[in-house]
Amino acid sequence: MAKIPARKQVNKKYTWNAESVFKSTKDWEAALKAAIDDIPNVKKFEGKLGTSPETLLEGIKAIEDISLRMQTIYMYAQFAYAVDTTNQAAAGMVGKAQGMAGQVAAAIAFLNPELLYIGREKLEGWMNGNDQLAVYRQSIDDLFRQQAHVRSTEVEEILGMTAEAFSGPSSSTSMLVNADFKFTPATDSKGKKIEVTQGNFYSTLLEHPDRKVRQSAFENYHDKHIEFKNTLATNLATSISANVFSMRARKFDTTLSASLFNNNVPEEVFHNLINTFQKKLPVWHRYFEIKRKALKLKDIQYFDIWAPIAKKRVPVSYEKAVDHISDSLAPLGKEYVEVMRQGCLKDRWVDSTVNLGKMNGAFSYGSPQTHPFIMMSYTDDIGSMSTLAHELGHSMHSYLSWKNQPFAYSGYSLFVAEVASNFNQAMMRGHLLKTIKDKNFLISLIEEAISGNFFRYFFQMPTLARFELETHQRAERGEPLTADAMQTLMADLFTEGFGPKVKIDRPRVGMVWSTFSHLFADYYVYQYATGISGAHALSARILRGEPNAAQDYLGFLKSGSSAYPLDVLNKAGVDLRTPQAVEETFAVMEGYIDRLEELIG
């Protein structure tokens, strides 16, 4: 059986630069204690922010300071746990960090109610006379936009205190599936066993050329989730109930409107996506049939989507991937590329190792006090290169936002986050499809684009968004969310999506929802699909050579949350209020399918 190394056996060169954040866990503990001890210094401003513009500014600065420290402390613990979920010390750190974050959230909850009490007219006068306060004009404008849904100081404090409790179902599920689950090994066509882990399931086993490996890995992986389906369903149902509670506490009509309201996104954006996705399903059905024929299969199943069509696997080392990505993003300028390369090759932004206990998937995470770190499992292939490009899009978005915006706007919404990540992938493919001649490389590149990126973002995520909408609506109506109900709903939605020529293993496909931790962030998944749409619309401008397209895009990356998401994107050159970008991205996918047909004959 192929063995996956323990965390302590991996090369430090390919691990995240934890010591650049805290030199030791002892220093982390000290920082956590100092943050908790400093809470009274923030609470002393409660009830006094309206005294004068100077007091207001001082109070905001104190809140920002403790919030920034909290973000860094929390990030360090979460990242340490993500790279090795078997590390009990790291798991304990996450618990401590969550407790600290809950205390901080409760302590600073007085800010918004007091700003509302001061009133917009008075605040406008203060901002007009104080340049430092004027910086907060966008955030104050957003606050008064949300005024109807901000509660009293006492209620806001209670809602802040629920953060730790409401994180329980997500934490429980993460511990269960990442640390406790032990999967039955996959078996190849010769009877050899291959270990199944969260780290190698998608990146290695479902992309394996041996169908027996793919099938056995898929079945064993999902059978473990079926074994614990009641626990997993209860956790998700509890999380959905928490969303319904928050929706009602803040006086929204639906969980969808509550979630989209935060980013000032109209519900039409969500429904436009879902409607266009359903309308364009024949594009997917065409691809599934082409893939079935290319693989010479009588019937194609879920686990065949990632199967390689290319006759030869093309290896891509981590360092070579950095070269390809850098060359692809040259239109964004020398500074962008140099910062990114140094982060990858010198400053250890990327934890790229494959090791036991490493969390499934990939993400970019940091704070304005740290590097924009990346967690992933790099496996020397085109898929890993694409994932690295994706996460570097997030990291460079963070880097430029942190560098160009004050703390108040240093973050950005989930709605725009997936634009930057998918943009990098779109640019990379545009460059490599023009410059690489190797047929196997090109087939693998297009396959990664469709089976990897597009299938996840433009098929799985819209389908999960439909699942999420229905489960939330059932919860809002008071209907029970049982494991069997979730399993049936998921199987029905995927059956519709795949069409009549894909064979569906309903019990296992029906558990796909339980493999996506994203569902614990309400109405997150649809933003993957809007994100990939915005990304292709913006990258197309640069690839076509439109004047100022690169500068417009860099302006988007530097904007952080200094304006509403749709406005920031519109300024960069894409309007997601209409379905046009979604339709254009389906056209890009059709172009990839045409090229694939040409390459495979």
Of 108, 201, 216, 122, nearest in space to 156 by CA: 108
Please tell me the predicted confidence (pLDDT) of residue 1: 46
Query: How far, in Å, CA of 211 to CA of 222, rounded?
Result: 16
How does pLDDT run across 137-192, given as a tens digit for each residue?
999 999 999 887 888 878 888 888 888 788 889 989 989 998 899 999 999 999 99
Query: How far, in Å, CA of 216 to CA of 219, rounded?
Result: 5
How does pLDDT run across 392-419, given as a tens digit for each residue?
999 999 999 999 999 999 999 988 999 9
Residue 255 has pLDDT above 50, yes or no: yes
CATH entry 1.20.140.70 includes domain 7-166: yes
Q: How many CB atoms neighbour CB 184 within 10 A?
A: 15
How does pLDDT run across 544-570, given as a tens digit for each residue?
999 999 999 999 999 999 999 999 999
Q: Which position among 391, 418, 447, 468 bears the catalytic label?
A: 391
Residue 452 contacts by C-beta under 8 Å, 6 or more apart in sequence?
306, 383, 386
Strand locations in 226-326 (E): 300-301
Dihedral angle of Cα 56, 61, 67, 72, to the nearest 10 degrees: 170
Query: How far, in Å, CA of 359 to CA of 90, rounded?
Result: 13
For residue 27, what are the CA distances in angstroms to 83, 84, 184, 395?
20, 20, 40, 25
Q: In b/e form, how buried is each residue of 160-177, taking b as 16+ CB within 10 angstroms?
A: bbbebebbebbbbbbebb
Please tell me the predicted confidence (pLDDT) of residue 198: 87
How does pLDDT run across 309-323, given as a tens digit for each residue?
988 889 999 999 999
Report whether 31 contacts 22 (CB < 8 A). Answer: yes
The residue behind tokens 């309007």 is 575
| Residue 391 bears catalytic tag | yes
Average pLDDT of the chain is 95
Helix (H) / strand (E) element for 169: namely: helix 168-174
Report whether 264 contacts 564 (CB < 8 A). Answer: yes
Q: What is the mean pLDDT of the segment spanning 291-301?
A: 95
Of 239, 237, 192, nearest in space to 216 by CA: 192
Residue 452 has pLDDT above 90, yes or no: no
- Residue 202 binned pLDDT confidence (cut-offs 50, 70, 90): confident
Of 336, 436, 443, 429, nearest in space to 386 by CA: 429
Tell me which DSSP letter residue 2 carries. Answer: B
- Number of helices (H), then strands (E), in the chain: 28, 7
Query: How far, in Å, CA of 173 to CA of 58, rounded?
Result: 40
In the chain, the percentage of residues whose pLDDT exceeds 90 is 89
In the chain, the percentage of residues whose pLDDT exceeds 70 is 100
* Tokens encoding 270: 């969500």
Query: How far, in Å, CA of 510 to CA of 513, rounded?
Result: 7
Query: How far, in Å, CA of 322 to CA of 307, rounded?
Result: 25
Which value, in Å, is the radius of gyration of the alpha carbons in the chain? 24
Query: How far, in Å, CA of 497 to CA of 256, rounded?
Result: 22
Helix (H) / strand (E) element for 363: namely: strand 363-365
Tell me which DSSP letter residue 324 carries. Answer: H
Q: What is the mean pLDDT of the segment spanning 366-392?
A: 95
Report whether 42 contacts 107 (CB < 8 A). Answer: yes
Of 177, 168, 172, nearest in space to 227 by CA: 177
Domain map of the chain by residue range?
Answer: 7-166
Q: In b/e form, how buried is each residue of 90-124, taking b as 16+ CB within 10 angstroms?
A: bbebbebbbebbbbbbbbbbbbbbbbbebeeeebe
- Residue 254 binned pLDDT confidence (cut-offs 50, 70, 90): very high
Task: Reduce the DSSP state of residue 57 to 3 states and report it.
Answer: helix
Instruction: List residues bridging with 364 in a β-sheet.
Output: 374
Please tell me the predicted confidence (pLDDT) of residue 2: 57
How does pLDDT run across 14-42, given as a tens digit for each residue?
999 999 999 999 999 999 999 999 999 99
